[in-house]
């Protein structure tokens, strides 16, 4: 299928062939009939992409601060690589889609194959959309009209927050697509509307929809006009649907309001407020969030958990349905808002029109009536810089997230590998990464990869809840496996992986405990190899703050941060001792008002079979400018101190004082060098399974110990 993508680095828009997405649980797979280009949002994205690096930095000062903090901890070169990698990521454009359901995901009710639906799917021939972001299109509403649903719902949500009543006077500032649909929604609500803009054609449309208008470019005073429109008292409310960095609009909105008037911001404007304007009138000001309640709530959007209607009357989905109702009765008329109809395959022309013609309003992309083939795997163009396929390790990669693109795939450069297939659920990220790094093909169905006889090494970098299942499937398919940590999320999954591995013990199974392969860790291992006494280890991890609603924090999806990430340093300490963990005692931060997550603020004490002890301080409440990882090892009157995998300092070691690298090296490249060589030549496992198993058992025990507030002994 073809999909519209934009490069954030250059602003170039393309319509490449990408794999068709698979339907997921709680989702609908939809064949697209029409999509609407959002003139405001998408014009802004295209212009941002075409801007210079300096212009991009000026547009996002908060991102610049994040970059400066990262330079302090990770160094200049890794930070620049991360920045350019993010800018290189293609952006799927569009969020106003109308089409027909072709597949219904597991757990979805209320929809059936053949239903016409409006959704926030992108500009693509097929889209996979959560059920709560879809609404059925009534008979009599065309696909083109239905493609305005999501955009109109943005205006509707602003209206709901404004809470207008019959007969009130409302000013709408900014008469783009959202502004003009908002004018009609307010009129349908029984309000008197005055529209304010600088474009004569848009003002004419607003008058057609029943509003009085103010032509600011023609010299009219918007404040005086709005006050006069309201009979001298000031308007009851102002809806701002404009986009400008100027603070003038918010100032004028306050001045044209009556006492105790309301202002709702739907667009993007400067927000330097004049206190006296708001104070004297006791004005209310609110910023509207997209389509309505549920937006950016993963429980609602991704997991399909609806809000009870008696308590949240108007969710995103119910707003979509309300807009479609207005379209079906004719109280919302979008036909006059369509400037051009352009075939989806010529989307680059559509975006040129968008940027060259500032008067363009609704640009509708049309799609072929004959359905496109639902191809799950597509061949990729080989980059000119890619080396010819070489090496007996033939890789299939599942998961094309940031870690894979920024860390893992660069680490494979120079390894004796043949990059065969990359899989991603949505298709776009896999397509981009595959094209960039030289894979032969991209797919959205990883099972096609497992059935490929050419592939002998499967690399898994998906979300954590899929690791165990996919590892078992790959082993059963006769493939070597490298799976990112953690291997699994609980003891039951660990037992299942153990059983699968016992049946395929000749295959390599490596978990992404990469730190043991770093040059610093290997030097420490060498220095400690002559010890005759137990050692004491202290690992300080400044893990950083992760939002409570992140998938990483979710027990079902990410396993929590200790299981998801803490296992790294348990493995590192076990590697340095060369001895398994036999007992674990953990404690976490105490309960406190407003503290949603406690498990990522934990101290874990480990006792090893050789008598050594290790303490892992995993703290998710530190400052990001502080080093993320600091380790100290005390042994026989000597000390080793490892600082953020850049600097190792020795105290009391004969012939060793320090080891410093110009940049971080956490062992990813060495890890895959050893693995791919083992795949090619055979031999013992790069990472013995009993060590992997012990690390996971110790990690599970740490969480259990913290929750039960008692030490846990591991079976030996």
Instruction: Judge whether residue 228 has pLDDT over 70.
Output: yes
* Residue reference for tokens 């165990």: 468
Question: Average pLDDT, stretch 690-709?
Answer: 97
The CATH code of domain 5-148+334-366 reads 3.90.180.10
Exposed, middle or buried: residue 505 (CB in 10 Å: 0-12, 13-18, 19+)?
Answer: exposed
Give residues with Cβ within 8 angstroms of 204, minimum separation 6.
Answer: none
- CATH 3.30.360.10 placement within the chain: 515-713
Give the range among 56-60, 155-159, 449-453, 709-713 with minimum mean pLDDT: 56-60
The CATH code of domain 152-287 reads 3.40.50.720
- How does the average pLDDT of the chain come out, rounded? 91
What distance in Å separates the CA atoms of residue 567 and residue 564, rounded to the nearest whole number? 7
Strand segments, DSSP code E, in 191-347 are: 192-197, 212-215, 235-240, 243-244, 257-265, 268-269, 284-287, 338-343
What distance in Å separates the CA atoms of residue 317 and residue 321, rounded to the nearest whole number? 6
Share of the chain above pLDDT 70, in %: 92
Instruction: Please give the C-alpha separations between residue 108 and each of 149, 206, 316, in angstroms, as whole numbers.
Output: 21, 40, 17
Question: Average pLDDT, stretch 6-35?
Answer: 92
Element of type H or E holding 576 = helix 567-577
Give residue 60's pLDDT. Answer: 62
- CATH 3.40.50.720 placement within the chain: 152-287, 390-512
* Residue reference for tokens 């707003």: 319
Starting at the edge strand found earlier in the chain, the sheet holding 169-173 runs: 212-215, 192-197, 169-173, 235-240, 257-265, 284-287
The CATH code of domain 390-512 reads 3.40.50.720
Residue-wise pLDDT for 345-383, tens only, equals 999 888 888 877 777 889 999 999 877 778 889 999 865
Evaluate the omega torsion of the peptide bond into residue 486 and state whether it is cis, within 30 degrees of 0.
Answer: yes
Instruction: Please give the C-alpha separations between residue 442 and each of 56, 424, 447, 484, 499, in angstroms, as whole numbers.
Output: 31, 8, 12, 20, 31
Instruction: Judge whether residue 46 has pLDDT over 90.
Output: no
Exposed, middle or buried: residue 215 (CB in 10 Å: 0-12, 13-18, 19+)?
Answer: middle
What distance in Å separates the CA atoms of residue 344 and residue 125, rounded to the nearest whole number? 8
Give residues with Cβ within 8 angstroms of 635, minimum separation 6.
Answer: 528, 531, 533, 535, 536
What distance in Å separates the CA atoms of residue 350 and residue 344, rounded to the nearest whole number? 9
Give residue 503's pLDDT. Answer: 96
Phi-psi sector, 637: left (phi>0), alpha (psi -120 to 50), beta: left
Give residue 50's pLDDT. Answer: 64
Residue 358 or 491, more confident: 491
Give residue 559's pLDDT. Answer: 94
Question: Average pLDDT, stretch 98-121?
Answer: 96
What is the rounded end-to-end Cα distance, in angstroms, of the chain?
A: 54
- CATH 3.90.180.10 placement within the chain: 5-148+334-366
- DSSP-assigned letters across all residues of 117-172: EEE---SBSEEEEEGGGEEEPPTT--HHHHTTHHHHHHHHHHHHHH---TT-EEEE
Residue-wise pLDDT for 146-181, tens only, equals 999 999 999 999 999 999 999 999 999 999 999 999
Residue-wise pLDDT for 539-556, tens only, equals 999 999 888 888 899 899
Q: Are residues 613 and 537 in contact, defined by beta-carbon separation less than 8 angstroms? A: yes
Q: Are residues 607 and 613 in contact, defined by beta-carbon separation less than 8 angstroms? A: yes
User: Would you tell me the crossing angle of helices 177-188 and 316-329 to the nearest 10 degrees?
Assistant: 70
Instruction: Judge whether residue 122 has pLDDT over 70.
Output: yes
Interstrand relation of 192-197 and 212-215 (parallel, antiparallel or unpaired): parallel
Give residues with Cβ within 8 angstroms of 6, minimum separation 6.
Answer: 12, 13, 14, 45, 46, 49, 90, 91, 93, 351
Residue-wise pLDDT for 600-650, tens only, equals 999 999 999 999 999 999 999 998 888 999 999 999 999 999 999 999 999
pTM for the model? 0.86
Question: Average pLDDT, stretch 209-232?
Answer: 95
* Token representation of residue 638: 């000597």
Which residues on neighbouring strands pair with residue 169, listed in sequence order?
Answer: 192
What distance in Å separates the CA atoms of residue 710 and residue 446, rounded to the nearest whole number? 42
Residue-wise pLDDT for 123-155, tens only, equals 999 999 999 999 999 999 999 999 999 999 999
Instruction: Judge whether residue 75 has pLDDT over 70.
Output: no
Cβ neighbour number for residue 227 with a 10 Å cutoff: 20
Helix (H, G, I), strand (E, B) or coil at 459: strand
Instruction: Judge whether residue 80 has pLDDT over 90.
Output: no
Give CA angle at 96 (94, 101), nearest 5°. Answer: 110
What distance in Å separates the CA atoms of residue 668 and residue 678, rounded to the nearest whole number? 16
CATH 3.30.360.10 fits 515-713, yes or no: yes
Q: Are residues 398 and 423 in contact, defined by beta-carbon separation less than 8 angstroms? A: yes
Question: Average pLDDT, stretch 397-423?
Answer: 91
Give residue 8's pLDDT. Answer: 79
Give residue 463's pLDDT. Answer: 95
Instruction: Judge whether residue 564 has pLDDT over 70.
Output: yes
């Amino acid at each position: 299928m073809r999909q519209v993508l934009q490069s954030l680095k250059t602003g170039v828009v393309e319509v490449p062939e990408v794999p068709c997405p698979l339907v997921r649980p709680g989702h609908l797979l939809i064949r697209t009939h029409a999509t609407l280009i959002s003139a405001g949002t998408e014009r802004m994205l295209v212009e941002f992409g075409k801007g210079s690096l300096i212009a991009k930095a000026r547009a996002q000062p908060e991102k610049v601060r994040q970059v400066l903090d990262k330079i302090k901890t990770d160094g200049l070169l890794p930070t620049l690589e991360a920045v350019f990698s993010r800018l290189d990521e293609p952006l799927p454009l569009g969020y106003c889609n109308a089409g027909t359901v072709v597949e219904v995901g597991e757990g979805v009710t209320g929809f059936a194959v053949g239903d016409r639906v409006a959704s926030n799917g992108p500009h693509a021939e097929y889209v996979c959309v959560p059920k709560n972001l879809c609404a059925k299109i009534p008979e009599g509403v065309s696909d083109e009209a239905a493609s305005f649903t999501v955009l109109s719902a943005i205006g509707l949500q602003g209206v709901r927050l404004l809470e207008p009543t019959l007969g009130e006077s409302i000013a709408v500032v900014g008469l783009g697509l959202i502004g003009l649909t908002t004018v009609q929604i307010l009129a349908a609500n029984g309000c008197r509307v005055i529209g304010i803009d600088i474009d004569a054609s848009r003002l004419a449309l607003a008058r057609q929809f029943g509003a009085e208008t103010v032509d600011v470019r023609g010299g009219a005073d918007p404040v005086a006009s709005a006050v006069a429109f309201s009979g001298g008292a000031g308007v009851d409310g102002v809806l701002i649907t404009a986009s400008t960095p100027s603070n003038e609009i918010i100032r004028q909105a306050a001045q044209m309001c009556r006492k105790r008037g309301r202002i709702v911001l739907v667009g993007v404007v400067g927000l330097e407020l004049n206190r006296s304007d708001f104070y004297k009138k006791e004005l209310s000001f609110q910023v509207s969030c997209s389509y309505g309640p549920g937006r950016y709530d993963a429980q609602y959007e991704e997991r399909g958990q609806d809000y009870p209607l008696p308590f949240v009357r108007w969710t995103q989905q119910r707003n979509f349905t309300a807009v479609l109702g207005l379209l079906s009765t004719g109280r919302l008329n979008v036909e006059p808002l369509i400037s051009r109809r352009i075939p989806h395959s010529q989307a680059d022309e559509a975006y040129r029109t968008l940027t060259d013609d500032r008067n363009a309003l609704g640009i509708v992309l049309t799609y072929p009536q004959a359905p496109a083939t639902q191809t799950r795997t597509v061949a990729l163009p080989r980059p000119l810089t890619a080396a010819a396929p070489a090496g007996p390790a033939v890789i299939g990669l599942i998961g094309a997230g940031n870690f894979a693109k920024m860390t893992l795939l660069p680490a494979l450069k120079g390894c004796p590998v043949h990059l065969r297939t990359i899989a991603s659920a949505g298709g776009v990220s896999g397509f981009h990464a595959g094209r960039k790094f030289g894979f032969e093909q991209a797919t959205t169905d990883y099972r096609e990869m497992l059935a490929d006889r050419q592939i002998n090494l499967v690399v898994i970098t998906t979300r954590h809840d899929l690791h165990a299942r996919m590892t078992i499937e790959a082993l059963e398919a006769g493939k070597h496996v490298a799976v990112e940590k953690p291997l699994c999320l609980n003891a039951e999954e660990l037992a299942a992986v153990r059983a699968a591995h016992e049946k395929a013990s000749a295959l390599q199974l490596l978990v992404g405990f990469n730190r043991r392969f770093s040059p610093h860790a290997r030097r420490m291992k060498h220095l400690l190899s002559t010890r005759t006494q137990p050692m004491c280890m202290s690992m300080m991890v400044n893990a950083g703050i992760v939002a409570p609603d992140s998938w990483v924090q979710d027990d079902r999806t990410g396993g929590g941060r200790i299981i998801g990430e803490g296992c790294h340093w348990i493995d590192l300490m076990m590697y340095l001792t060369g001895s398994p963990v036999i007992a674990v005692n953990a404690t976490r931060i105490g309960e406190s008002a407003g503290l949603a997550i406690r498990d990522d603020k934990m101290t874990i004490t480990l006792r090893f079979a050789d008598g050594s002890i290790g303490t892992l301080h995993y703290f998710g409440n530190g400052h990001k400018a502080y080093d993320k990882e600091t380790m100290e090892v005390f042994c026989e009157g000597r000390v080793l101190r490892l600082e953020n995998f850049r600097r190792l300092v020795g105290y009391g070691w004969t012939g060793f004082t320090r080891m410093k690298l110009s940049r971080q090296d956490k062992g990813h490249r060495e890890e895959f060098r050893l693995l791919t060589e083992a795949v090619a030549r055979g031999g013992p496992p790069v990472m013995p399974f009993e060590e992997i198993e012990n690390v996971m058992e110790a990690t599970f025990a740490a969480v259990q110990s913290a929750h039960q507030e008692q030490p846990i002994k591991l079976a030996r």
